[in-house]
A and B are shown apart, each in its own frame.
Chain A
Amino acid sequence: GAVVSQHPSRVICKSGTSVKIECRSLDFQATTMFWYRQFPKQSLMLMATSNEGSKATYEQGVEKDKFLINHASLTLSTLTVTSAHPEDSSFYICSARDPSGGDEKLFFGSGTQLSVL
Chain B
Amino acid sequence: DAKTTQPPSMDCAEGRAANLPCNHSTISGNEYVYWYRQIHSQGPQYIIHGLKNNETNEMASLIITEDRKSSTLILPHATLRDTAVYYCIVRGTNNNDMRFGAGTRLTVKP
Interface residues of A (CB under 8 A from B): 1, 4, 6, 32, 34, 36, 43-46, 49, 91, 93, 95, 97, 103-111, 113
Q: Establish whether residues B43 and A109, one from each chain, have CB atoms under 8 Å apart when the complex forms.
A: yes
CB < 8 Å: which of B43, B49, B97 contacts A110?
A: B43
Q: Establish whether residues B100 and A106, one from each chain, have CB atoms under 8 Å apart when the complex forms.
A: no
Nearest first, the 6 A-B pairs at minimum CB distance are A108-B43, A44-B100, A43-B100, A108-B44, A111-B43, A110-B43
On chain A, the residues within 8 Å of B44 by CB distance are 44, 93, 95, 108
On chain A, the residues within 8 Å of B43 by CB distance are 4, 6, 93, 95, 108-111
Cα(A105)–Cα(B104), bound, Å: 20
Interface of B is mostly: loop
If the complex has contacts A32-B96, A43-B87, A49-B97, are A111 and B42 also in contact, measured as CB distance less than 8 A? yes
If the complex has contacts A93-B43, A110-B42, are A105 and B34 also in contact, measured as CB distance less than 8 A? yes
Q: Identify which of residues 33-53 in chain B touch chain A, using a CB-to-CB cut-off of 8 Å.
A: 34, 36, 38, 41-46, 49
